[in-house]
Structure 1
Amino acid sequence: MVNKIKFCTILRERSLEHKKAITLMLQNELYGQAISILRQELDSMVRVIFLIEEPDFSIREHYVEQTLENVKWTLPNSRSAITDRQMVELSNLLFGWTKSVYKLGCAFIHLSPMSNYRNENPFLNLDEVEIQDIKNHLHNYHGFPLASDLNMDTISPYLNKVFIKVSDNLEAYIESFENDAIGDI
């Protein structure tokens, strides 16, 4: 029980810092950094979703302990790592939007042409299906006009809205996790 409280405290402290940081990044038009912060918030969210979907409380505790020990998550009694991809795929199956946000965030965390967004449209590096997925998600959740091109100028006004949605969902999932919910997302 104490470990779960510590784990949830870490999640909330990280999220609070993200809220402060994304505000600063957006005020200073540091959109790549804002997207990186968004990706980190999403990382917390998919981990909590992964835990909530795990019905075995001893396995949940195993992952929480690994976090507190600063160890990469592995299956119990195994060396097989739980990958970000597995957690993102699970949450994407449940919600249908996390994979595109996560992938976009990764493009800004890792060195890529996306970091050159001040000089070139980074979204031209994506295939048409990815572009349409992002546009549709932005439209469905935040009112992005589907007729607009996808570029940093058109999406930057939506970055804080996306962050708030992820952050609010994260807090709701943390509360569900604290209340021992199983798959009640």
Structure 2
Amino acid sequence: MTSKMDSGQVSRAFLAGAKARSLENRKSFGLLYDQGCHGVCIGLMRQELDTLLRLSFLWRPETAKDVAVSLMEKTVTSGARWSYQENGKKITLSDKSMVAFAHFLGGWEQVAYDFGCKAIHLSDLHAYQVSDPVKNLSEHERQEIAQYLKNYHGYDGEDLTMDDMVFYLPNVIEKISSNVEFYLEQLEARYVHGG
């Protein structure tokens, strides 16, 4: 029989897992990008975004310490879905709800999440070598993605294509991963070192 971990052990185990996942995502992304496996790269971007959403949810001042530790414990002990009690009501956190909580990241997370979901579910994205799936997006969606690529990564095109998206994927994963690093440091200071 194993003994229950204290909050410091839970936090260290959770953050170590999140860091390992992020490092593996970055390494895998580079290898796959070099091999032209761009759809899988978008799926890895979505997976890295999942890490960022979870870390940023734990970081929010509104997330009480006992709730954060409980959520981390669910991850490291059983892999259970994230849920907690608030005012006597069970709150289940889905990926979609965590995107809504993460609005303070700047809005791009919703765009990356929506497009990334096309990569993890069988969709028109998987035939990108035959037909450009970006053309199937609404004009509003294409403009929104183009605007974020302009704001954060220097995109200067007029009519966004899948080739444009592929070109900027390394910049996008780097932005997400650097945010993951930031939140890992913040959470380590808060939950491991008690800062």
Q: Select the residue among 15, 35, 43 that pairs with 1:36.
A: 43
- Contact kept in structure 1, 2:57 and 2:63, CA below 8 Å: no
Change (3 A) 1:87 1:138: same
Residue of structure 1 in register with 2:174 after alignment:
164
Structure 1 segments of 4+ aligned residues over 6 angstroms from their partners: none
Q: Match of 1:63?
A: 71
Compute the displacement of 1:152 (Å).
Answer: 2.0
Q: Which amino acid aligns with 1:2?
A: Q
Flag structure 1 segments of 5+ consecutive residues without an equivalent: none
**Residue in 1 that maps onto 2:83:** 74
Q: Which piece of structure 1 moves more, 105-114 or 47-56?
A: 47-56
Answer whether contact 1:136 1:146 (CA < 8 A) is retained: no
Identity of aligned residues (%): 34
The DSSP-based 3-state class of the residue aligned with 1:75 is strand
Matching residue of 2:33: 26
Give me the CA root mean square deviation. 1.5
The question of 1:111 aligning with 2:122 is answered yes
Bigger CA radius of gyration: 2
Contact 1:11 1:44 in 2 (8 A): yes
Measured after TM superposition, the shift of residue 94 of structure 1 is 3.9
Query: Are 2:48 and 2:176, in contact at CA under 8 Å, matched by a contact in 1?
Result: yes
Residue 93 of structure 1: how far off its partner (Å): 4.3
The alignment's TM-score, normalised by the length of structure 1, stands at 0.92
Q: Superposed, which structure 2 residues align to 1:1-185 within 5 Å? A: 1-53=8-60, 54-68=62-76, 69-76=78-85, 79-147=90-158, 149-180=159-190
Q: Which amino acid aligns with 1:60?
A: A
SS of 2:102's equivalent in the other structure is helix
Q: What's the offset of the Cα at 1:146?
A: 3.6
Q: 2:14 touches 2:75 (CA, 8 Å); kept in 1?
A: yes
Aligned pairs, number: 180
More strand by share: 2
Q: Is the 8 A contact 2:14 2:72 kept in 1?
A: yes
Deviation at 1:139, TM superposition (A): 0.7
Distance 1:34 1:136 in 2: 21
Moved more, 37-46 or 86-95: 86-95
Gaps of 5+ in 2: 1-7
Q: AA paired with 1:64?
A: M
Cα displacement (A) at 1:166: 0.5
TM-aligned CA deviation for residue 178 of structure 1: 1.4
Task: Please tell me the residue identity of whatever aligns with 2:184.
Answer: I
Take 1:29 and 1:159, find their aligned partners in 2: how far apart are those partners?
A: 12
CA distance in structure 1 between the aligned counterparts of 2:103 and 2:112, rounded to whole angstroms: 10
Cα distance in 2 for partners of 1:79, 1:144 equals: 43
Letter matched to residue 50 of structure 2:
D
8 Å CA contact retained: 2:74, 2:82: yes
Length-normalised TM-score, structure 2: 0.87
